[in-house]
Amino acid sequence: MKLIHLSDLHLGKRVNEFSMLEDQQYILTEILHIMDEEQPDGVLIAGDVYDKTVPSAEAVALLDDFLVRLAKRDLQIFLISGNHDSPERMAFGRRLMEGSGVHLAPVYDGRVSPITLTDAYGTVNFYLLPFVKPAHVRRCFPEREITTYTDALAAAIEAMGVDPAGRNVLVTHQFVTGADRCDSEELSVGGTDNVDVSVFDPFDYVALGHIHGPQRVGRETVRYCGTPLKYSFSEAGHQKSVTVVELEAKGSVSVRTVPLAPLRDLVELRGTYEELTFRGFYEGTSYQKDYVYITLTDEEDVPDAMRKLQIIYPNLMKLDYDNRRTRAGARLDGAEDAEQKSPLELLEEFYEKQNGQPMGEEQQAFARAWMERIWEEDER
């Protein structure tokens, strides 16, 4: 059985105030071309379909068009909600869509029933587990002690009653310990959303969403496929792709990727104003369409540099300086570094400055628990 693994479409997303809708429409069409070449039996879409819980009308229309075009190819489509999605909105029309081969994960209520497909080797059971927090799972299993994300996933998977002798596929949306993150992903409180990869042992393949860089975690068959487009300049070096999974007899799973070429790339350029002006005019036309982040190394600020460079680089998204002045400022305040830190890390730094000593393990655990509790209450 051949499957295509997608996730984190983030339809409707804006990057540095640039709408990505045209780029998303283009890349979804490219994905459909790959479907035609690969002829898969199913498509796994592992959450964060939209970028916001209340998506724009344009984003909804884009997903509708994509699902209709997929369904016309006589595919089985498995789709779950991620942390950016509203599970209730994503589940709307679920029972009607099943007739077209579109299987939407319902709002999590403690039960996950498998959807079974058959091939030459027998049956494959697909389990759809949308993004859940410990509070969601704790409500369904009040008798269990569920304090961490690993506890929550372990309880949810145990309740599925998975037969390890069969072939089983899980589609879920979580942060698994050890995965490499990007700037475009949401940071949690002190890494409290970590899930231990061992909870996925009953499954032959785990289609993960949430992390934007394609990668395996723990074993080859627990994978993030990554986003189909670059959504931050921290992803500039990524090769975006779709993941192709082939299941044969029990224990035989192969995984490969098919690269994606975007309508516009995200590129980083660095140099003096004069160098980058020359480069834009004379070294090729790709920068005329690409999204660009420029770092100027001139010691003196160039008057109206953003507007002037946008004549050469129309999709210039961001402009910074790297010189003696900016490096001195960064050493003084560390503000940019602070943006990359979790709330717990910032609290630990504040505590140490105020008290002259670092927080102890008990204090860290207390702060982490209260932060997580506050965030969970805000979600209700």
Whole-angstrom distance, CA of residue 309 vs CA of residue 319? 9
Q: What is the mean pLDDT of residues 73-100?
A: 91
Whole-angstrom distance, CA of residue 208 vs CA of residue 314? 36
- Per the model's pLDDT, the better-predicted residue between 177 and 321 turns out to be 321
Considering the domain architecture, whether residues 295 and 244 belong to the same structural domain is answered as no
Considering the domain architecture, whether residues 182 and 271 belong to the same structural domain is answered as no
The angle formed by the CA atoms of residues 203, 67 and 9, to the nearest 5 degrees, is 65
pLDDT value, residue 191: 47
C-beta pairs of 28-34 under 8 Å, 24+ apart in sequence: 28/62, 28/65, 28/66, 28/228, 30/260, 30/261, 31/4, 31/6, 31/228, 31/242, 31/260, 32/66, 32/69, 32/70, 32/73, 34/4, 34/242, 34/258, 34/260
Considering the domain architecture, whether residues 200 and 308 belong to the same structural domain is answered as no
pLDDT at 190 over 90: no
For the chain, the average pLDDT equals 88
Total domains in the fold of the chain = 3
Instruction: Check: CB of residue 53 under 8 Å from CB of residue 89.
Output: yes
Query: Taking the model in full, what pTM does it have?
Result: 0.82
Contacts of 283 (CB under 8 A, 6+ apart): none
pLDDT value, residue 112: 95
Range of the domain at 353: 341-379
pLDDT at 125 over 80: yes
Considering the domain architecture, whether residues 246 and 295 belong to the same structural domain is answered as no
- Residue 189: pLDDT band (50, 70, 90) is very low
In 10 A of CB 359, how many CB atoms? Answer: 18
Considering the domain architecture, whether residues 310 and 168 belong to the same structural domain is answered as no
Which of 33-42, 331-340, 366-375 has the lowest average pLDDT? Answer: 331-340
Q: What is the mean pLDDT of residues 200-204?
A: 95
Considering the domain architecture, whether residues 151 and 192 belong to the same structural domain is answered as yes
Considering the domain architecture, whether residues 236 and 272 belong to the same structural domain is answered as no
Considering the domain architecture, whether residues 119 and 227 belong to the same structural domain is answered as yes
Instruction: Strands of the chain (E only): list them.
Output: 2-6, 14-15, 18-19, 42-46, 76-80, 102-104, 115-119, 122-129, 167-173, 175-176, 194-195, 205-209, 215-217, 219-224, 241-247, 253-259, 266-271, 291-296, 316-321
Whole-angstrom distance, CA of residue 256 vs CA of residue 248? 15
Considering the domain architecture, whether residues 326 and 238 belong to the same structural domain is answered as no
End position of a domain, from candidates 259, 280, 308: 259
Considering the domain architecture, whether residues 45 and 99 belong to the same structural domain is answered as yes
DSSP state at residue 272 = -
CATH code, 125: 3.60.21.10
End-to-end CA distance of the chain: 39
Whole-angstrom distance, CA of residue 169 vs CA of residue 253? 11
Considering the domain architecture, whether residues 287 and 182 belong to the same structural domain is answered as no
- Of the chain, the percentage scoring pLDDT greater than 90 comes to 64
Considering the domain architecture, whether residues 78 and 185 belong to the same structural domain is answered as yes
pLDDT value, residue 344: 79
